[in-house]
A = this chain, B = another copy of it.
Amino acid sequence: MTGLASSIERRNGVSLWRQIADKILQGIASGDFAENAALPPEVALAERYGVNRHTVRSAIAALVQEGVLRAEQGRGTFVLSRKRLSYPIGARTRFSTGLQGQTSERHIALLSSSTEPASRRIAEALGIAKGAAVIRLETRGEADGHAVSRATTWFDAKRFAGIEDAMAQTGSITTSLKRFGINDYLRHSTVLSARHADADDLAALDLQPGAIVLVTVAVNVTLDGQPIQFAESRFPAERVELNLSAGD
């Protein structure tokens, strides 16, 4: 993108082969390495990045394992087509409508649910007393069989009693909220950060260790500003980008 050659750093806690695997992923994302085409040969990559051919091979092996590349002896190593989903974030964004046109199948799977006392932070966000009961939902967003998000969502237990059953049945938060008389709601605030995926993310999102997740912490409110939902969502950075559209 910027066109600046970015080199490789040594003895920094991240192995060279993983840094080069990341570089190749970047190259694919930026169009530097075309999809369905052959990557430069291993010796060329080794020279480009200033490392040994075997180090490049380790990086390629990891990406083959992740399903990003396919190596064929005598022919070359090929980039498999796998576009990043562009996930829109706006005041009225909904999971399924946002991905329309990019995927054919999408839904939210309820992994688990529980009732617990509200921490200070969640109580503040939902405008209830600290320690009041809240329902926590652990969910995974899926599109075309691939995990694209992993979220933890809290609702006021008094107002939304039984919402976990609605979620399990409908696979949609928007539809579930309609059962509680909420036909429309807005995204009030979203705070965004990024970190390395933890063990839970790795398992739920089918990622390789070392992967990066985008993290959003959001509060949804009714049209008159009443908070109804507090959520932390994790998105695999290698498969998803967040699109902050204006005017929504």
Mark A residues whose CB is within 8 Å of B.
1-2, 4, 6-9, 12-15, 17-19, 21-22, 26, 62, 84, 86, 89, 91, 138, 152, 186-196, 198-202, 208-210, 212-214, 217, 232, 237, 241-247
Contacts and interface: CB of A to CB of B under 8 A. Distances in A.
A247 to B, nearest CB: 8
Main secondary structure of the interface of A (DSSP, over half): mixed
Given A1-B232, A4-B200, A86-B191, 9 more contacts: A1-B217, A4-B198, A6-B200, A13-B14, A14-B210, A84-B193, A189-B245, A193-B214, A194-B237
A214 B194 contact: yes
Contacts of A245: 189
Nearest to A2: B152
A86 B193 CA distance: 10
Contacts of A208: 12
A200 B2 contact: yes
Contact of A242 (B2, B19, B26, B192): B192
Nearest to A12: B209
8 contacts: A7-B198, A13-B14, A13-B62, A14-B210, A186-B246, A189-B246, A194-B213, A196-B212
B9 A17 contact: no
B13 A196 contact: no
Contacts of A199: 6-9
A231 to B, nearest CB: 11
A83 to B, nearest CB: 13
Contacts of A193: 84, 214, 237, 241-242
Among A17, A62, A192, A200, chain B packs the most CB atoms within 10 A around the CB of: A192
Nearest to A8: B199
Nearest to A209: B12
A243 B237 CA distance: 18
Contacts of A8: 199
